[in-house]
Structure 1
Amino acid sequence: MSEDFYCDEVLSGNTVVKKVWETKNVLAYYHTRPYYEVHIVVIPKQHISSLLTLEETDSMLLLELLDVVKKVASQLVETHGACRVLTNLGSYQDSKHLHWHVYYGKKIKD
Structure 2
Amino acid sequence: MITGFGVAVAACSAAVAVWSFVLAARGREPRRPLLYALGFVELLLVAQLVVGVVLLVGGERPGSMATYLAYLIGSLVVLPVGTVWALAERSRSSTVVLGIACVAIPVMVLRLSEVWHGASA
- The TM-score with structure 2 as length reference comes to 0.35
Rg larger in structure: 2
Larger fraction in helix: 2
- The TM-score with structure 1 as length reference comes to 0.37
Larger fraction in strand: 1
Larger RCO: 1 or 2 (CA < 8 Å, sep 6+): 2
